Structure 1
């Protein structure tokens, strides 16, 4: 089987010589693209040349794959993901050993795959996708205005950025519909939609998300600032969903309606502003997993 390994050289552990963890004579094509544009171009080339593409990096690297696969033209392509970034939140809710060597071996040589259904995002900017979690409100504000200032200090930087954001952010009006029914309308701190469960370096914002499933978990946090700051301590466990002022639901289609000034983040990357419609799409690829589901 023909396999390509794409390593993001700027993402956390991507600076390591990951290929040295592969066995001798592995026969895998290994490339470290020098830029995002080069990575996008290489992915498009490889999807027609390789049966399996292994992406080593953080959630932003995985997001690049999602945006490429949203066209639905590669449902049989095998996709292996190696968490080598600062946050690497998507892999936190996947079964298997989280050790870097183990994840690389699995992604490159694993025998089991599962159909991967990305979350498709329809906006004024067209069609895009995410693989893990998207959110609007405070988290979108952080991603667009603050987070880059703190990323250099590692995972702790996500918490610094969140606390700074809470102190300067004003809740925004939005309406959230799940499968056509209004879940929430009014001032909102964060609305998160997840295929996965974690964002921001281990915060379990959508605890009922399932990356191997076919629905979405939606969480709207409508707490005032001080209570929202207090509630951040519950995010790592997902217990925030039990608080008054937090509503959540699961469904196939999520509409978030609001002013264009309401910013969004998608797998930690900046993306479309409101309004947006999110659906769990058809099969976009075959995700390499540790055991058959």
Structure 2
């Protein structure tokens, strides 16, 4: 059986929400059966995964395997993309320009893994990704935050989703999707909508009370909430869902299990290449991207980066 990858680097965040259930040693052992040379590097501080992935690009590895949650995978994607910007990245293998990304789901929501590999066990997905003479790639769109230049892999969101992520950080005894689902329930007890203006490609689509404004990217957030059910990861567009303050926030978790929130008149759905979200009362906007919460600004803008990231993915017939 042939394996296309000569070398790979595992970037592991052992402090991710569910990382204890996926030992890095197990991932390394599985990779060693499929890749000629495997290196393991561990993150030591926020943002370190981006630096480690960028070094892997410069070292010319064939693949980067991210072990962690959506935040870790987002950092690794950012490192891969930004390290290649402004430089010529030479194909290490036929059909592969720069290192391709594979992620092992070891975080709270693991939404990105779900987007690409659905509910397939990670060992099975890893074997499928690295077996064969050529890599099976899907070139995914990313977004860039205009204010910080950060790369966004899966999506960004204001309001309820961002505040629930802050709550989840304190639920240390729970892991995986259950951790985020409990955090949503706890956040809803005292949650209040915020005033915001949402602009898509220069058009104001909402100016008023907002429960959340989601931009993506991926269809799922928190592993099981289908906020952007029509989103496609490689259509060169950002999907935008605005849940206005006219909807009772307590209804939202149930509605987003199957995307039924889009049936409600209180919810707006758009697509575009640039999205701006601004809190209009002057207070800081609680905002997150790829599971990492940000505070301090009243406004964020995101721009599409089409087909920016090569990701190891299943063939269409094996999904």
Q: TM-score, normalised by structure 2?
A: 0.81
Are residues 1:149 and 2:156 paired? no
Give 5+ residue unaligned stretches, structure 2. Answer: 1-5, 90-96
> Does the 8 A contact of 1:6 with 1:32 survive in 2?
yes
Q: Distance in 1 between matches of 2:257 and 2:211?
A: 17
Root mean square deviation, CA, Å: 2.5
Alignment partner of 2:314 out of 282, 290, 293: 290
Residue 31 of structure 1, CA deviation: 0.9
Alignment partner of 1:5 out of 3, 10, 19: 10
Residue 220 of structure 1, CA deviation: 0.7
The 5-angstrom pairing of residues 1-293 of structure 1 reads 1-11=6-16, 12=18, 13-15=21-23, 17-22=26-31, 24=33, 26-36=35-45, 38-49=48-59, 50-71=61-82, 73=84, 76-77=97-98, 78-95=100-117, 98-109=120-131, 111-123=135-147, 126-144=148-166, 146-154=167-175, 155-224=177-246, 227-258=248-279, 259=282, 261-271=284-294, 273-291=297-315
> Does the 8 A contact of 1:219 with 1:247 survive in 2?
yes
Q: Distance in 2 between matches of 1:224 and 1:22?
A: 50
Aligned to 2:94: none
Distance 1:194 1:109, change over 3 A: same
C-alpha distance after superposition, 1:233-276 (max 9, x if no partner): 12121111111211111111111122451110111111364311
Q: Distance in 2 between matches of 1:149 and 1:32?
A: 26
Q: Distance in 1 between matches of 2:304 and 2:182?
A: 32
Residue 96 of structure 1, CA deviation: 6.3
Distance 1:261 1:24, change over 3 A: closer
- Residue aligned with 1:71, SS: helix
The structure, 1 or 2, with the larger RCO (C-alpha pairs under 8 Å, 6+ apart) is 1
Residue 199 of structure 1, CA deviation: 0.8
C-alpha distance after superposition, 1:64-86 (max 9, x if no partner): 11332453625732222222333
Give 5+ residue unaligned stretches, structure 1. Answer: none
Q: TM-score, normalised by structure 1?
A: 0.88
Residue-pair matches, total: 289
Distance 1:60 1:25, change over 3 A: closer
